[in-house]
Structure 1
Amino acid sequence: MDKFALIILVVVIVLIIRQLIPKKADGFDLLGLPIMAIIRTYTGLPDKLDGLIIAELISLLALGAVVGYWQAKKTKVFYRDNQLCTVGGYPYIIGWIAMLAGRGIILLLFNFSAIVSSFEAGQEQFTNEIARISADWLIWSTITASSILYSLTLYRNHPEIKNFIHARLNKVGR
């Protein structure tokens, strides 16, 4: 794992943990994370996508979308001391656990025969196969779908989030 990927992993873990306590709404959670995830997905895309990888990608996008929607529905939006706040609580963490577990299940479903044959071929072959099929961009694609649906659902269901996002985008547009 390179230094940049490690830093991003730490940032994502901090963002997840921050959902346990009420916090001031910020642009990174609602806009920055989806943009970062899109960039990480795009930069990691292989030159050629075969049918199996496309099917796995569609499954991961669907999983991420469902988790992001569910997390947003469980997120509480409120004002505290005249500041817009959100708290995802334990459902947000459960969503991430479900996303990771789902990723593992999808990995096994789409690559079971390759995993078994590489396991039989030896540890080095097995390690190389696991690294190949658990590509960074596939993980980020799930985070992309999840964070986009999370932000869009909050945007659609909470006028105060909608106003916050518009204000943030206007501030950036100046």
Structure 2
Amino acid sequence: MDKFALIILAVVIVLIIRQLIPKKVDGFDLLGLPIMAIIRTYAGLPDKLDSVIIAELVSLLALGAVVGYWQAKKTKVFYRDNQLCTVGGYPYIIGWIAILAGKVIILLLFNFSAIVSSFDAGQEQFTNEITRFSADWLIWSTITASSILYSLTLYRNHPGIRGFIHERLKKVGQ
């Protein structure tokens, strides 16, 4: 894992932990994370996508979308000291655990025979196969779906979030 990936991983972990306490709404949570996830997904896409990888991708996108929607439904949006705030709490963390567990389950479902045969072939072959199947871009695609559905659901269900996003987009457009 390169230094850039470690920095991004640290940022994502901080964002997850920040959901445990009430915090002022900021543009990175609602707009920046989805954009960063899209960029990381696109940057890691392989040249060729076979049918197994496409099926795995669709499954992970569906998982991410469901988790993002669920996280947003469980997020509390409120005003404190005239500041728009959110708190995701433990359901937000449970959603991330579901994404990681779902990724492992989907990896095994779609690649079980290849993983077993590589395990029989030896440690080095097994490690190479696991690395290939657990591609970084697939994880980022799940985060993309999750963060987009999270932001869209909050946008749709909370007028304060809707106003915040419109204001932020106006600033970007100027």
Aligned to 2:95: 95
Measure, in 2, the Cα distance between the counterparts of 1:133 and 1:100: 14
Match of 2:168 in 1: 168
Q: Equivalents in 2 of 1:124, 1:52: separation in Å? A: 23
The residue that corresponds to 1:29 in the other structure is 29
How far apart are the structure 2 equivalents of 1:83 and 1:172?
Answer: 21
1:44-97 per-position Cα deviation (integer Å, ceiling 9, x unaligned): 000000000000000000000000000000000000000000000000000000
Q: What code does the residue aligned with 1:117 have?
A: S
Deviation by residue 1:116-147 (Cα, 9 ceiling, x = unmatched): 00000000000000000000000000000000
- In 2, Cα distance between the equivalents of 1:31 and 1:127? 35
Q: Secondary structure of 2:84's partner?
A: strand
Q: How does 1:78-117 map to 2 (within 5 A)?
A: 78-117=78-117
TM-score, normalised to structure 2, is 1.00
Distance 1:80 1:24 in 2: 9
Q: Which runs of 5+ in 2 are unaligned?
A: none
1:77 alignment partner in structure 2: 77
Q: Distance in 1 between matches of 2:13 and 2:46?
A: 26
Percent identical among aligned pairs is: 90
1:65, 1:124 → 2: CA distance? 35
Q: How many residues align?
A: 174
Residue 50 in 1 paired to residue 50 in 2?
A: yes
Runs of 4+ in 1 over 6 A off after TM superposition: none
- In the alignment, structure 1 segments of 5+ residues that lack a partner are none
How far does residue 172 in structure 1 lie from its aligned partner after superposition?
1.1
Find the counterpart in structure 1 of residue 145 from structure 2. 145
